[in-house]
Amino acid sequence: MRLAQFIRDNIELIVGEWEAFARSLVPESDYMGPLALRNHIHQILAFVTADIESAQTDAEQVRKSHGEKPESLYPSAAEVHASLRYDGGFNMDQMVSEYRSLRASVIKLWQAAGPESGIEDMRDLIRFNEAIDQALTESICDYTKKMDLSRNLFLGILSHDLRNPLGAISMSAQLTMKIGALSERQTMLQSQISDSSSRATAIVSSLLDLTRARLGSGLPILREAMDIGFISNQLVDEMRVLHPNRDFVLTVSGDTTGDWDKARIGQVFSNLLGNAVQYGFRGAPITIRVEGMPREVVLSVHNEGVPISEDAIGTIFNALTRAPAVADDTQRTPLTNLGLGLYISKEIVTAHGGKIWVTSSEREGTTFTASFPRTVKTPE
């Protein structure tokens, strides 16, 4: 008997054996009824049998081996199965184990039926494995999307809900210092509370930006007339106050006015300057250039330090990525960030229609460069 026909004729036996295995995956499965456990296994097997019997070209076989799913407006049975397994508390390993069990059950029962090992049987087995792999790939992709979405929603909700209590802590600490005379010890402690809550607020804001970017909504950009050169002078002056032992050299040239988001541009400046302070040698100057070009304004921040490796350059703008520590790290400021600054900077620059990149070598040092295209307002 051909494999596809065998599956159709013995589907209840196959599903029953698979169901016994599925029940062993999670302790909570006792309360799940047969319909919940069998969801879409019939549809998955129907897809498998149809795929085995369908005509397939060599090109289609190659595309399938690459995990390409046929275009469809509706989720496949494998994708729906993944969603239900995610909602039901199954983890990824358990869901993959289900497919392994289903594959093993079909092959074991088919072999027990005693088919002759002919060329057609071998082809059926190859097509069967291809179909199972296709369904497994679709399930894994859908499950991963659900997991990423839940994680990002969690971070977004956490970041949003933490901002209010952190703001209240910071404000209370500042008001306490203004209300009446405090001892030197009390003033020091209140200042510590205020500084710590400000740092926590900055971390929460970065996490909120991360979730906005990853959920697909993007970072909100509110354009207004501004001067990037003026903002750069302000922020460099602030960095000089925060790091009086570091040397900051700023050069502004050309027309640096345009329509951008002032707060977001300031974020990019602060992130790049903070990165240069973090990873640059303490005795070497940090050089900042703001150049007004005909179509864009280009910002660059340069520091001397341990060069970024070629492998790290490829991922340095990814979320939660930091340059690794080196053996002789005595000349650098200790690491205190989450590795979100460069990722958020990239998202801000991209939202403005610009580009950001980095060059790094032992001889030339490290330079981060960001371009911000000018926007021309149409007359009303």
pLDDT tens, residue by residue, 206-257: 666 666 666 555 677 889 999 999 999 988 988 888 888 999 999 999 999 9
The set of residues, in sequence order, having a beta carbon less than 8 Å from that of 147 and lying 6+ positions away, is 86, 92
Work out the percent of the chain whose per-residue pLDDT is above 90: 20
Q: What angle do CA 60, 66, 68 make, to 5 degrees?
A: 70
Q: Which two tokens stand for residue 124?
A: 């059926």
Q: Which two tokens stand for residue 91?
A: 């983890």
Which residue type does 355 have?
A: K
Q: Which two tokens stand for residue 368?
A: 């981060």
Q: Provide the pLDDT for residue 85.
A: 78
pLDDT digits (tens, 9 = 90+) for 288-322: 999 999 999 999 999 999 998 887 887 788 765 55
Q: How many CB atoms lie within 10 A of CB 42?
A: 14
Q: Scan for tokens 């005595």, then name that residue.
A: 330
Q: How many CB atoms lie within 10 A of CB 73?
A: 4
Q: How far apart are the first and last CA of the chain?
A: 76
Q: Which is higher by pLDDT, 58 or 351? A: 351
pLDDT digits (tens, 9 = 90+) for 72-119: 656 788 888 788 777 777 778 888 888 888 888 888 888 887 756 678
CB 360 within 8 A of CB 227: no
Q: What is the pTM of this model?
A: 0.53
pLDDT digits (tens, 9 = 90+) for 330-368: 454 444 444 677 888 888 898 899 999 999 999 999 999
CB 231 within 8 A of CB 269: yes
Q: Provide the pLDDT for residue 290.
A: 96
What confidence category does residue 135 fall into, taking pLDDT thresholds of 50, 70 and 90? Answer: confident
Cα separation, 214 vs 212, whole angstroms: 6
Cα separation, 231 vs 16, whole angstroms: 69
Q: Which two tokens stand for residue 92?
A: 């990824």
Q: By CB neighbour count within 10 A (0-12 exposed, 13-18 middle, 19+ buried), where does 146 fall?
A: middle
Q: What is the DSSP code (8-state) at residue 30? A: G
By mean pLDDT, which of 1-5, 162-166, 344-348, 373-377 is the weakest? 162-166
Q: What is the DSSP code (8-state) at residue 289? A: E
What are the helix and strand counts (H, E) for the chain?
13, 7
Mean pLDDT of 42-61: 81
CB 132 within 8 A of CB 49: no
* Residue 148 Cα distances to 11, 78, 151, 152, 315, angstroms: 34, 18, 5, 6, 19
Which bin fits 220, alpha (ψ -120 to 50), beta or left (φ > 0)?
A: beta
